Structure 1
Amino acid sequence: MLKMRFKRCGRKRQPMYRIVVMQATSPRDGKAIRELGFYNPLTKETKLDVENIVKSLNTGVQPTKTVKNLLLKANVITAV
């Protein structure tokens, strides 16, 4: 099963997360199939590739709870 989730990058105590599509069983920092954007929790900066995110969701990729909340806040998807 494919999941849309965070992949941590950045320095110690300065996290930055990439939003990626990867296998649900792979490790958090493992190889990603596709990168769809990033999120910086310290500055609240977000950059999303909306076209590819919608395409991935339509093909059956399941977002994690955290990524889903981020997409709802950015108005990429709507609450059902």
Structure 2
Amino acid sequence: MVKLHLKRCGKRQRAVYRIVAIDVRSRREGRDLRKVGFYDPIKNQTYLNIPVILYFLEQGAMFNLEELFKIFQRRRVSLWNFALINKQQTKFN
């Protein structure tokens, strides 16, 4: 199973986070399947590769609501697509 989450990078006291798709069985800082964006909390910059994120969500990837949902909201990403995907996942479970 694949999970989207934040991977910490950067120097001490200067954290930058990559948004990555990673296998659940690997470590948090382990090898990622694909980089799908980044988040810089100090400069308040974000980059999201929306088509790739939607692809992984369609394939059944999970993501942490607290971390990534806030980033998606800040970027004003249409969460309608995410709602449809989550609705389909609950229908099959």
- Answer yes or no: same fold by TM over 0.5: yes
Q: Are 2:43 and 1:35 aligned?
A: no
Match of 1:78 in 2: 79
Q: TM-score, normalised by structure 2?
A: 0.76
Runs of 4+ in 1 over 2 A off after TM superposition: none
Q: Give identity over the alignment, percent.
A: 30
Q: TM-score, normalised by structure 1?
A: 0.87
Q: Which has the higher strand share?
A: 1
Unaligned runs of 5+ in 1: none
Q: Which has the higher helix share?
A: 2
Query: Structure 2 CA distance, aligned partners of 1:75 and 1:55?
Result: 19
User: How well do the aligned residues superpose, as a CA RMSD in angstroms?
Assistant: 1.5
Compare relative contact order (CA 8 Å, sep 6+) and give the higher one, 1 or 2: 1
Unaligned runs of 5+ in 2: 84-93
Q: Are 2:58 and 1:55 aligned?
A: no
Across the two proteins, how many residue pairs are aligned to each other?
80
